[in-house]
Structure 1
Amino acid sequence: MSSLDIPQVNFSGLDLSKVGTEEWLLARGQVMKALETHGFFSVVFNKVPDETLDALFGPLADDLFSLPLETKMLTTSDKFYQGYIPKRPGSNFESLNIDMVDASPLDSIQRFVSLMWPHGNPTFRGMMWSFAREALELEMMVRRMVVEGLGVEKHFDESMVKSTVQSVRMFDYGAPSDQEKMMAMGSHQDMNIMTFIYQHHSDGLELQDKSGRWFRSSPNSFSIMIGESFEAWSNGRLKATPHRVKMGSNNETRRSIGFGSAFKDECKIHAPEDLVTEDHPLLYKPYHYDAYVQFRFSDAAKGSACPLKAYCGVLRGDEMVA
């Protein structure tokens, strides 16, 4: 499928001060239609300066990924899929993560910079903040639009602001290990609330719609995907987006930046009572994000067609719903 087939929503000129305006409602309607028909969309969003993107995907990424392994390992986490992820057999990519867990996102970026460059790197700090600041607002706008579109905006502050954290992850891909299929990352669904992927002057990201067709995302845009946590929270009204990375040639290198949100470990993920009705009975039992992440990487989850259902799907009679 051509990348032009991916629904695109124009967020130019929008910010959180525009909530409830005509242009906000227009964009919200397009977002909900795209999620209902495809399960994903991309956005036109021109607030991140070109010089910031050129630096983050060019010389600053070169500096970051060329650091010694022992330096990058300083961000390794004891939690699955957090911190530094090194290249492994069969997956020729590595990634570094900045968790926005401090009182200020800028403090989180500074903490990361201090680990990577003890003597400082003000250019990286400034450029990453320039990107993250706009991505934070974009992600919050989309999340709010979706919650409003579901008709449960009264739960937004408690469930979708106070109970969540964000992170930025930088990816660096080499030539794929599978030279026949050119698959750099196999099909999967993210466990979080939402993921935004930005590709700069490169492509490779592919997203699968509800009918099983694969769409190739275009460069220089944010592709928006739903995670399993949002599927559970919405009681199945949203569906987690299968996606993969397929390279165009064996000489190609690829970089991307992912921006995502997740529920805090201590918060229980459960659908608001307004979304549980006779026509839409409860699909997933309440669960904690960190416990589900551990399950997803366990032997018990291997081979499961739908780990989320296996972990917390509601049984009715002899059948698993959802």
Structure 2
Amino acid sequence: MERLQKKSVMTLSATNVLVTGANGFIGEAVVARFVVDGCNVAGAVRRPAGASWAVSSPSLGNDADWRPLLAGKTVVVHTAARAHMLNDRVADPLAEFRRVNVEGTLLLAVQSAAMGVRRFVFISSIGVNGADTFQQPFISEDQAAPHSPYAVSKYEAELGLQALAAETGMEVVVIRPPLVYGPNAPGNFGSLMRWLQRGVPLPLGAIHNRRSMVALDNLVDLIVTCADHPAAANQTFLVSDGEDLSTTQLLQRLGRALGKPARLIPVPALLLKVGAALVGKPAIAQRLCGSLQVDISKTQQLLGWTPPLSVDEGLKRAAEGYLREASV
């Protein structure tokens, strides 16, 4: 980790970076890392609240004017997006995802190119590859198979960015993370920590799937590397911790990190899938019982990059952050 951090300080100290979505789970951590590395960074947030790096962000849509924020910037890291909605009440979710994640992203990118930005780093999703791996892990060169409106919007944004790069010469880097976990992680991972901490028995003691995840610090380290690494230009990268776990293994190791041994009941995966289908929640069973693995060999070989944290170190940091928040 020291080697990567020192490289970043040397190469990024004179770089001017704009990070969108800087009050989000990923964006906030990216800004913090750039600050530590001595980079001149501005973080776009909807309501700046005193941080020296914070700047007021326009809404991510098809009529935003980003140009005042882009003046003098050489790199844009675009983490802002309309994310997954568990109970989406929008009449046409795909149209809304496209308005924000495709039209909004491409407008930002067009304005970035016009303002002289050299590199645009786009945080996409492993959902572009698909929802499940059956025979072998995903690679970035696989034929896209986006499985949800969110993933479709991310893929369409990727295609638009690639076309823009060819037209303007602005370098584009795409990163497709799987589940990202860390302190204050939203979504399913945060729910798992709450259940484990409360000692809730979970029917997940006999799940033999394999899933790739990425610790927040590992993803941030790759983003910072991609902001300046010459070999990253116009590439798509997959990222993970480099060790895949079953759902059962994840809960066992997360329980140890929390100091709360997981109480797991060995219910067969098939029964869980049937039960979830009966109550209209098949997607939840798929995420808990299905396999999704990524191959990061391209990322490692092309960039000389290794995940700085092991899975257990990442889980420990996530647990410590959760316990700090819970004690407040």
TM-score, normalising length: structure 1:
0.25
More helix by share: 2
More strand by share: 1
TM-score, normalising length: structure 2:
0.25
